[in-house]
Amino acid sequence: MNEHYEKWDELAPRGLALIGFGVSVLGEAIAAKGNKKGFLRWFLSGLVGLIALNAGVSIFGEAVKHRTLYEIDVQKLRESDKVETV
């Protein structure tokens, strides 16, 4: 199996899960602020939510990069097969 495909297959679900977790924690922080909870509670949970969200976007972006490199490799293989058969 192609190394770029394996990296994509590993990173994409992790990135998406981390994005979902970050959005969920961030939503909880927004609700805590709206319910007039203590500053430290909503601030720290919001901070953790933003960190998780940004980490998830970064990991998913890396997965997209590897998927693109995989697709380029596949396209090169198809083109080389066409040249050999002609």
Distance CA 51, CA 53 (A): 5
3-state secondary structure at position 37: coil
pTM > 0.75: yes or no:
yes
pLDDT at 1: 73
pLDDT of 73 over the 90 cut: yes
Tell me the pLDDT tens digit for each residue of 10-61: 999 999 999 999 999 999 999 999 999 999 999 999 999 999 999 999 999 9
Residue 49: which of 18, 19, 26, 15 has the closest Cα?
26
